[in-house]
Each structure stands twice: as C-alpha cells, then as structure tokens.
Structure 1
C-alpha cells in the first residue's frame, strides 16, 4: 500500500475509487459509462443536484448563496472574481500570503486598482501577516486561506468592512467555516473534494451585476447560476466523483468530525518535527497549516537519503515544492492517521540511523 502525501490531485477514500471505477463501466445501471453519459440526462442532472445539496448541507451555505460547479481551477477564478465583483474604476484589497495569492493579485490588476494590505514575502511567506487594516473604500477584500507551498494557514476569518473573497482551494471541507461571512468562496476541488477538473464557487447573489462592465457570458457568474452549472458541458466525471466523496464525508460525521481528525493528524506530525533533532518546521508555529506540513532537514545534505528511505517504506510525494525545497506532507481529508504514524516512525528510524 502506498501512503500518498501528494499536494496536487488529492488522495481519495478507497470506497470512492471503487464506486467510481464501477461507474466507468456501468453508471447507475444505465448500461452507459459515466464518461459517456449525457450531461443533460436526468441521471446526471440528479448528480449535479445532489452534489450542490451536499455542499450546501456540509458547509451550511445560506439560501441566498449560489453554488456553482465550474472548470478552470483557482487560476481562472483569480480573474473571474474581480471581473464579477470589481466595479469599473474601482479598487480591491488583497492579502499576500504566498505564491497563489500573488498570482491572484496579478490578475486583479487587469480589472482595477489593487491595494496589497500586507505581505509575508519578506519573511519568505513563513508567516501570515496580522498587523494590517482592511480599507473601507474597496469593493472586496481577498485572501488565500491555506498556502500549500509554504505550509501556512489562516484560521480566523478576518473581520472585514467589505465583502470577503477567499481562495479555499486547499482547505475547504477540512474545517468548519461560517459561509455567511463571505461574499465569494472559490476552490479547486482536487485537494479535499474530488479529482482535478472541477472548481467550486459559492457566491452571495446580492453582490452580482454591479460592476458596470460587460462580462463575457462564459465568465459571468450569473450565466452559470441561470444555467444551473450547465452553461457549457460540465466536468461530468469530476462532479460525479466529488459527489461520492462528499457522501463519504457526510457518513463520517461531516465537517466537525473531519476537522477533529485533521487536528490530530497535523498535531502528531508537528510534534515529531519539533522533537526530532534532524528536522525543523520553517513556518511560524501559530500559522502552521493542517493541510500541508512543511519541514526541512537541519543538514540539507541528508534530504535525498531521507526521501529514499521514505520511498522504501511506501511513503510517496514527500518532496517539497520546487521553489522552496525540503519536504511537504499533505494531510488532506482522506489520508488516514495510520499514514501519519508511519511517517513519524520513518523519521524516528532515520534519527536512529544517524546517531
């Protein structure tokens, strides 16, 4: 058995893999594969309806918010968010906490003025800036809740005088949030929700249609709301697998239970990083991510040797992002605590080998 700590396309529960593989051959006894079923069929319309319902139920999404099942990933939302919320001649505010936040800032500048209220860049994004003020004369304030590359996470929702926009790609469904405090949430599904290809958008309907600009229909949230996420052919298989995974999450006990498990998993690994003299965590302790645990060797020359031992023990995808090096263990929802325990055992074995 491989223990997958990869940060990209997520680990999913084995029962979800099994159910999805069966549907590839015969979806709901239709005699057709889920890969070929019409997105206009009543069977797939039921999948879309259930997926939206599961998201609304698990996150307690208010009724005046729309849930959209789109494509294009968070990178497309970096542009769609300001396109739909930033008024002509208007201004937005952004918190710069890492690479993905900086990409979002770059895209927003194509549609209006951007005020970066604070940045962690000078500290190599190892901390979440805290001493900043959100201006009142902007159309929205944007932040990224979890930073996969640098291993930081913002747990407290900012108290904002303007609509909040959040990229939750890598921690959505991992902990409880109050959706009513946000104007817009978007998230690539490929961390905790399902396979790559699906993007979740949750938007307060009251914010739309006020920019004064002409928005191409395919980039207009209202187009997708009106078409019930069927404005163009949706990512059928990705939505179906997301539905299966959200069913699994609900049966586990929902967000409250998975948050408890995620706290235990991350705490277990961070305790070993702090105890083991061969390793250290570069991120500020108060900002450590539960989803992406980053750590380095005190002696960088030992990194390749540790990775080789981990690979031998069937621990895969532990190498850190190419821009920062070191190691990264992604602890997404479906990763069992047993995988974390094995990683801790291997770290302790490595310590014994180098005494």
Structure 2
C-alpha cells in the first residue's frame, strides 16, 4: 500500500552543495515537517532523525525502496503533455512560471485519477494559489527554498494547507436513543482546549463538530487529550482533506482539530479505544437536507454550537449545532465530484 504523504513536502534536494541541502533538511525537521525530499547521493541525511526521507533519483521519487512519485519540470506545452501522462501515486510538478503554465489544466486532468498532484512553490503566495485554484486546488505543495529564513515564511503553511473548515448552522430535528454500539475514543498526543474538537459525521456531506472532553463534570474528571468521537462507521476529517472511518484510526494517525476561534491544527493520535456503549442518534437539517451523527449517549459528549460546547444530555430539538457541509462524494477517503445519496 502506498504511503500517504502530508500536504506539504520540503525539497532539500535542490541546493548546490551538500551543506546547503543539509541545512534545508535540518531546518525542515526543526520546524516539524516529516516529508522531506533528498538526493539519492545524500542518503546520509536519513540519519538526521526519523522522518520520511523521499529519495530523488532522476525524474522519480522513492520511499523505502518503492517508486512513490514523478518529478516534472514544466517549461512549455511539451512538458505539460509529458506531465499529463504521469501515473505514479504522486506527481510533483515544477513549473518555470505559474503565470504561463495553467495550473487549472493540471488540476482538472489529475482530479479524476488516483495520482496526487503536488505543485512546487517558492513563496507563501504561490502556495495560496496552488491551494485555491479551481476551488479544489492541488493535493499538496512541495516547498522550494534556499535558506531556513525562507522556510520560516511558510510557518503558517501547515494550517493554511488544511481543508476548508468553515462551519455553518444546522437545526436539530431529532434525537433518538439507540441500543449498544461500538464507539471510538481518540486519545491524542495534545492537550485540547475547551470547545476544541474534530469533525465527524455519518456522511462526509455533513460533519459535526464533536468537542474534546476538556470539561470537568460531576461524575468524571476532564480528559483534555480526548475526543469521544462517535460510532465506528463515522467519517472523520484529516489535515490533508481526506477522511478516515473512525474504525481505521490508530496510534500515529494524523487528524484535524478545530479550535473555538476557527484555527485549525494537526494532532497525532496516541491511541484509539473502541468499546461497546449505549449510543444516540442526532439528526439535524441544513440547507434543506437532513444529516446525522451517532455518538455515545453520555453527558460527557459535547457538540459544538454557536454558544459553545453543549452536552448531548442537554441538547434539544430546535437547538442549533455547527457542521461542515460539502458536496460530492468520497472514494477511499478522497473528495470526488460525483452524485451520491446517503441516508
């Protein structure tokens, strides 16, 4: 199975000297980046730390001996045509000039393929263009810099590269206790704020904000590292815009977390706990459509609302909750422009 890369690659393979390339690799590691492209002959850099050292050998990229991607320098229409034919899991395109090379053509061509498109960018402005072109943007960016200072300019790139998480209001239309089911607790490697949570739902078309257990209650102490996310069948949003089923989450899975002020961040999963618990179905309507989420029937489970985190024990029909809406469907976790009906 092909390794899933983060939305941001750092290219440490382009410096003129080994020391130049080592400097970029070290700066990337210190900044917390985990997917770094190095030259095959610079394999000694693998020992700098434990990270995904992606080896560039000619026009191809390798990870752990597996051909992972193709590098494509595009200077003219001939280069574009060559890029269109890439079939490796990842295509990393490096245009001579984005003003001349139409990025939207590349995005359109790769959107309905299994190949993930990454665009080489040298500035935060280029990164923004790559992410926003045609609304869907590229699957990721490959940062090309010549100094740690230039890399620091991408300090917010990690959060900026995350999927849109604009929340809208949905009105609760029904709350129905269910029988026992398998629910998923996600214990993260981070301390989560009150009102911070993850986006979870029975359909990728509508994900509910499920808040962390950062509140003390009469019966249990707070667990500020935990999100009691919901039933095993549910979708959960990841930082690269893909979704996982909750049943797929495990130690090391990178997940998206949303703070009360709307800031997004990545959090690592420390462990997942699946246990049989009484469940409850929450249904809500937004833009004329009905959506749902199934969570544990317990007062420690809180949904995000415009007024803050509210326990499912206190939630009532007619209340407003916060949700993320999207159109289309999902294929192996990736958003697809297709018609799909889920009930």
TM-score by length of structure 2 reads 0.26
Higher strand share: 2
Return the TM-score normalized by structure 1.
Answer: 0.25
The higher relative CO (CA closer than 8 Å, separation ≥ 6) is in 1
Structure with the higher helix share, 1 or 2:
1
